[in-house]
Amino acid sequence: METHISCLFPEILAIIFSYLDVKDKGRVAQVCAAWRDASYHKSVWRGVEAKLHLRRANPSLFPSLQTRGIKKVQILSLRRSLSYVIQGMPHIESLNLCGCFNLTDNGLGHAFVQDIPSLRVLNLSLCKQITDSSLGRIAQYLKNLEVLELGGCSNITNTGLLLIAWGLHRLKSLNLRSCRHVSDVGIGHLSGMTRSAAEGCLSLEKLTLQDCQKLTDLSLKHVSKGLNKLRVLNLSFCGGISDAGMIHLSHMTHLFTLNLRSCDNISDTGIMHLAMGSLRLSGLDVSFCDKIGDQSLAYIAQGLYQLKSLSLCSCHISDDGINRMVRQMHELKTLNIGQCVRITDKGLELIADHLTQLTGIDLYGCTKITKRGLERITQLPCLKVLNLGLWQMTEICYSVRGSSTQLQ
């Protein structure tokens, strides 16, 4: 007897459908009643984020999402009340409102009027009308929140951070990119330095402070004292951070990734402080720090030799610095030295000889390298990504003939 796909049990169909992309999951539901029933099994939609345009009333929308077990929602455009979403999905776990420019404190206040214990992730990035008032609502009703994205919310102040520190004790990730009013006082609140008013967000594992121009080394002192579980810290474009602040960070033993890109006051001395501490960094980015030179590479080799990713784009390093670093960096997998115009074929030969675990390297704008250096780099046994310009070569297996580098 010939077996047809229609003979499969619904459970087997559900397993097959779970491997489809979101559009195809919807399409198979329209084939027949049996496939529709199988496609509505919650296992098919596990982890899927619904992307919605809320323009007009749709009574079947949220019951349909709940039937499929969908608990993650991204609002692409918001022309209805946010409370419409919260009421329709009482067990929502993730709400992404990134770029909903018309969302106001009033709209958010009408939505968050009672505890929502299921909500773990809230993204308000680029919701530019949101102020500290909304953070008060969030701190009051979203006690189990673990991820809060506030990048580009330029009306947030230190008062808002005090409210977060008061109410969101389970927060693990906080993004404050370009929150221009945030200063050392606000970071003190998050770090538990004002215990009489707020306990702090002491469970934070990831903190993004990119382009927070009012921050100084005092913020780093607060972070090092209070946020002992922090694993990822982004300080890129923080012009008020200096070498002295690196002393505070140098003893944060759980810190895994540190981004200092375009921190203009970080120099070789700051790298020395990091290297002399008890850090076990896996990733370090000091790209476009124009006071970083060859001496920093010597310090990195001495004290940060366990790095797996190192970015030095546009730093004043040369072949001599590469020579002082490569013999100790046995675990390095990604090296970004784009626009380091003093690097020559000699530096590439040193990299090829010693950094045998490299899987990716950025050489964009390295104007002194030639075919000879590239020939050596492409012989690295683990290399998968080579960036030479505005395009990338991936899954590398090259032969270099004449003036061309050809992907085989």
* Amino acid, single-letter form, for residue 371: K
pLDDT tens, residue by residue, 140-187: 999 999 999 999 999 999 999 999 999 999 999 999 999 999 999 999
Domain CATH code at residue 76: 3.80.10.10
pLDDT of residue 363: 96
User: Is 16 or 300 the better-scoring residue by pLDDT?
Assistant: 300
Query: Are 247 and 236 part of one and the same domain?
Result: no
Query: Are 113 and 220 part of one and the same domain?
Result: yes
| Confidence class for position 21, pLDDT limits 50, 70, 90 | confident
Domain range for residue 388?
Answer: 243-392
pLDDT of residue 1: 52
Quick check: is 399 in a domain?
Answer: no
- Stretch 288-312: mean pLDDT: 97
Query: Are 78 and 194 part of one and the same domain?
Result: yes
Would you say 384 and 396 are in contact if contact means Cβ atoms under 8 Å apart?
yes
pLDDT of residue 392: 47
Mean pLDDT score of the chain, rounded to an integer?
90
Prediction pTM value: 0.89
3-class secondary structure, 90? coil
pLDDT value at 397 more than 50: no
Mean pLDDT check: name the lowest of 29-43, 113-127, 344-358: 29-43
Q: Which residues, including other chains, have CB under 8 Å from residue 281's CB and lie 6 or more apart?
A: 255, 256, 257, 258, 274, 304, 306, 307
Query: Are 92 and 32 part of one and the same domain?
Result: no
Cα separation, 163 vs 166, whole angstroms: 5
* Listed residues 241, 276, 304: the one ending a domain: 241
Would you say 39 and 17 are in contact if contact means Cβ atoms under 8 Å apart?
yes
Residue 351 bridge partners (DSSP) = none
Cα separation, 219 vs 317, whole angstroms: 29
| Confidence class for position 18, pLDDT limits 50, 70, 90 | confident
Alpha helices in 40-177 (DSSP H): 61-67, 82-88, 105-111, 132-141, 158-167
Would you say 310 and 336 are in contact if contact means Cβ atoms under 8 Å apart?
yes
Query: In the chain, how many domains are there?
Result: 3
Query: Are 109 and 227 part of one and the same domain?
Result: yes
Query: Are 182 and 54 part of one and the same domain?
Result: yes
Name which of 109, 102, 103 is nearest 135 in CA terms.
109
